[in-house]
Structure formats: C-alpha cells, structure tokens
C-alpha cells in the first residue's frame, strides 16, 4: 500500500510573473484587479485569511489593500488613508479584532453603578474606602445641571453620570480604573513598533455654588520592575478650578498621547474633585456636589496607517471597457507605476 504514494517532494516551481494572468482568470473569465479586490472586500474575515491568502502570489499581494478596505468598512471611517508600507496583519487586527477606535473604559458614566471602578486605597487607606465609596453616587439624569451633550456618541443612549458628594476639605473623593492593554488584545509588538496614539477624555460639571477643583490623572505604565512596581513612562496631570460663569455647564478635557516610546503595557485613569477654598462646613455632608461622565480611553489607529497618500490616487479605477490582452497589459503597467510612485 505504501508503494502507491510517492514521498519524493516535487522540485517543480513556477515563479510569479506579473506579465501573465495568474490569479485573474476565474471560470474562463478575466477579472480586472480592481474588480477582484472589490469581491475580496465583501468576503468574511475568516475565509479571506484562511483561504484567499493562500491561493496564489497575486492574490497574496492584493490582501493588504483588501484588509485596508475592510478596515474602512468596519470602522466606518473614511479618513483612514492607504499606506503600502503597513503590513496586512495590522489592518486585519483593526478589522477583525476591533482593537482600535473603541472606549477601553468600562462603565464610563455609571450605567451599572460604581462597578469596574476602584477607590485608590494607597492614598486614603483601607479604613476610608467605604466612606469614599459612599460619597460617589450615580444619577440616572443629571440633577440641577444641563443634560449631557447629545452630540457625543457616549451619551446617545444614556444620561447617567457620577455625582461626587464633597466632604470636608482635604478629603477628595476619587476613583480610578486600570486598563491592561495586552488583556484588551493590543499586543506589545503593536504598541512598541507603531506606537498608536492614545486618546483620553472626560466630562465634568459643577453646579452653581462654591468653586470646585477637578483633577484628572492619566498614567502610562510599563511592566513591573524589581520591586513589583510598574514603571511610569508618561502621565497627564490636569486640574481645573470651576467657578463663576463656567459653573452649571458640561466641560470636557481631552488629551492625546503620542510618541510615548516603547514599553507601555497599562493605563491608569483617575479623576477626583474637591473644595477649592476653605468654607464654613455644616454638620454632616456639605451641600456641594460635582458630576463627571463619559470617561474615555481609546487606542487610535497608528498614524503611519493614516498616511497623506490619497487612496483614490493609488487605486483609481480606470472606467474603460477594454479587451482582455491589450488592456490588461496597460492596467498592469499602470499599477506598477503607482506602486513605484507611492
């Protein structure tokens, strides 16, 4: 039985030649490159990577642009421009895994209470955790302040917000959330090689009354060091004194981390609020409150994916009906010129 099979590997190999029609003849019909890529863009991700990528050399060379088109369709972002130097695997991750352009903060506005948020015990001590947790309430609708802006996607389906009940001066209610980027599917290779921009944002509002100070601290951490402590790579320390005409309206702070270097593995997002001036306190809690909502941390698509080269300039479809032999050669030459130019 074994003699029926030839175990000797075949030495026959045909080198890829751009002059021929390999990969463009399907069912005895010639398909232009543009039409073939249009078909690929509508095939599901699993079939594209498991089957189409392995058919032939020509199909493999087209896959980067196909995944780029899929990424634009998935993220619904027309501003993403073509870059031939970016490997297809980055587009594949952006498209199929949906790692970029999404909010990594869980429970950003209190829709499920204070779940997913932590009280920083190292700063206030374990004995005060329950006290500080009781100072952070959730409102289904913002009380005594305007509604959250409907133009923001985060607030289209919910109007909940966190309400900080301000205690005595020096005791500042705060909460934080850690994001482990590798747990979210964003590999160290992508972070170190492409350094995608990291966008952070938060909304805050102070009802009319005494001035309130708002603080936002966002830290980018590396791996744990010898003392089991994360190394700080970059941080944002923002504070704003809300008083006068700036009260009773929703304000936004946003910042984008760029060129942060290698080693970023996690992010800590912390915001807090407290009294700005010494005032006469009543017994129990003070009447002042402070509201926050829409905490946002997003890893954007790498900037070197969004190059300045226009997609239409690179893959502009020639709207000409042409015969098979003559026009395919001119199309192939045109595609080659475009690759050399860009």
3-state secondary structure 166-218: CCCCCCCCEEEEEEECCCCCCCHHHHHHCCCCEEEEEEEECCCCCCEEEEEEE
Q: For residue 246, what pLDDT band results from cuts at 50, 70 and 90?
A: very high
Mean pLDDT of 188-217: 91
Of 210, 305, 199, 301, whose CA–CA distance to 252 is shortest?
199
The residue that leads in pLDDT, 16 or 342, is: 16
User: What per-residue confidence (pLDDT) applies to 224?
Assistant: 80
pLDDT at 307 over 70: no
d(CA 293, CA 134): 18
Pick the range with the lowest mean pLDDT from 33-47, 98-112, 130-144, 248-262: 33-47
d(CA 147, CA 293): 11
Give pLDDT tens digits for 178-199.
999 999 888 898 899 889 999 9
User: What per-residue confidence (pLDDT) applies to 201?
Assistant: 98
pLDDT at 169 over 70: no
Give pLDDT tens digits for 145-162.
899 998 898 998 889 999
Mean pLDDT of 68-87: 64
User: What per-residue confidence (pLDDT) applies to 323?
Assistant: 39
User: What per-residue confidence (pLDDT) applies to 147?
Assistant: 92
Q: For residue 24, what pLDDT band results from cuts at 50, 70 and 90?
A: confident
Mean pLDDT of 90-117: 84
User: What per-residue confidence (pLDDT) applies to 334?
Assistant: 44
* Residue 128: both structure tokens together: 């005060």
d(CA 300, CA 320): 38
Of 178, 182, 205, 181, whose CA–CA distance to 294 is shortest?
205
Share of residues in the chain with pLDDT > 70 (%): 63
* Residue 17: both structure tokens together: 């030649």
137 close to 291: Cβ distance less than 8 angstroms: no
User: What per-residue confidence (pLDDT) applies to 247?
Assistant: 93
Which range among 10-19, 50-59, 83-92, 268-277 has the greatest average pLDDT? 268-277
181 close to 264: Cβ distance less than 8 angstroms: yes
Residue 131: Cβ within 10 Å count? 14
Share of residues in the chain with pLDDT > 90 (%): 30
Mean pLDDT of the chain: 75
User: What per-residue confidence (pLDDT) applies to 2?
Assistant: 44
Q: For residue 16, what pLDDT band results from cuts at 50, 70 and 90?
A: low
* C-alpha distances in Å from residue 186, one per residue of 105, 215, 253: 15, 28, 25
235: β partners: 219
Mean pLDDT of 11-35: 66
Q: Is 169 exposed, middle or buried (0-12, 13-18, 19+ CB in 10 A)?
A: middle
d(CA 233, CA 235): 7
The residue that leads in pLDDT, 168 or 286, is: 168
199: β partners: 256, 298
pLDDT at 268 over 90: yes
Number of H helices, E strands in the chain: 9, 11
Q: For residue 304, what pLDDT band results from cuts at 50, 70 and 90?
A: low
212 close to 269: Cβ distance less than 8 angstroms: no
* Residue 305: both structure tokens together: 């994916």
Full-model pTM: 0.70
Map tokens 């006469």 to a residue: 280
> Could you tell me the domains of the chain?
21-97 (no CATH), 121-304 (2.60.120.260)
User: What per-residue confidence (pLDDT) applies to 265?
Assistant: 95
Map tokens 């972002």 to a residue: 77
Q: For residue 317, what pLDDT band results from cuts at 50, 70 and 90?
A: very low
d(CA 158, CA 142): 11
């Amino acid at each position: 039985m074994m003699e029926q099979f030839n175990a000797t590997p075949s030495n026959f190999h045909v080198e890829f030649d751009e002059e021929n029609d390999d990969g463009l003849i399907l069912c005895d019909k010639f398909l232009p490159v543009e039409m073939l890529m249009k078909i690929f863009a509508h095939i599901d991700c699993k079939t594209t990577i498991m089957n189409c990528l392995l058919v032939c050399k020509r199909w493999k060379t087209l896959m980067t642009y196909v995944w780029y088109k899929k990424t634009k369709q998935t993220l619904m972002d027309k501003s993403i421009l073509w870059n031939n130097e970016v490997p297809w695997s980055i587009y594949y991750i952006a498209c199929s895994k949906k790692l970029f352009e999404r909010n990594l903060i869980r429970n950003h506005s209190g829709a499920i209470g204070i779940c997913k948020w932590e009280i920083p015990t190292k700063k206030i001590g374990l004995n005060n955790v329950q006290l500080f947790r009781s100072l952070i309430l959730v409102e289904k609708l913002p009380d005594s302040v305007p509604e959250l802006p409907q133009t923001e996607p985060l607030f289209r389906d919910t109007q909940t917000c966190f309400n900080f009940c301000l205690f005595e001066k020096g005791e500042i209610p705060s909460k934080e959330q850690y994001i482990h980027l590798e747990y979210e599917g964003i590999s160290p290779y992508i972070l170190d090689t492409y350094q995608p921009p990291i966008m952070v944002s938060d909304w805050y509002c102070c009802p009319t009354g005494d001035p309130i100070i708002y603080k936002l601290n966002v830290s980018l951490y590396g791996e744990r060091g010898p003392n089991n402590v994360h190394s700080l790579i970059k941080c944002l320390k923002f504070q704003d004194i809300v008083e006068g005409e700036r009260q009773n309206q929703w304000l936004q702070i946003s910042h984008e981390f760029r060129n942060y270097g290698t080693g970023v593995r996690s992010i800590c997002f912390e915001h807090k609020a407290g009294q700005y001036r010494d005032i006469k306190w009543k017994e129990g809690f003070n009447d002042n409150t402070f509201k926050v909502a829409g905490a946002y941390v997003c890893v954007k698509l790498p900037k070197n994916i969004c190059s300045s080269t226009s997609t239409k300039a690179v893959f502009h479809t020639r709207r000409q009906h042409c015969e098979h032999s003559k026009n395919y050669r001119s199309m192939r030459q045109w595609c080659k010129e475009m690759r050399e130019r860009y």
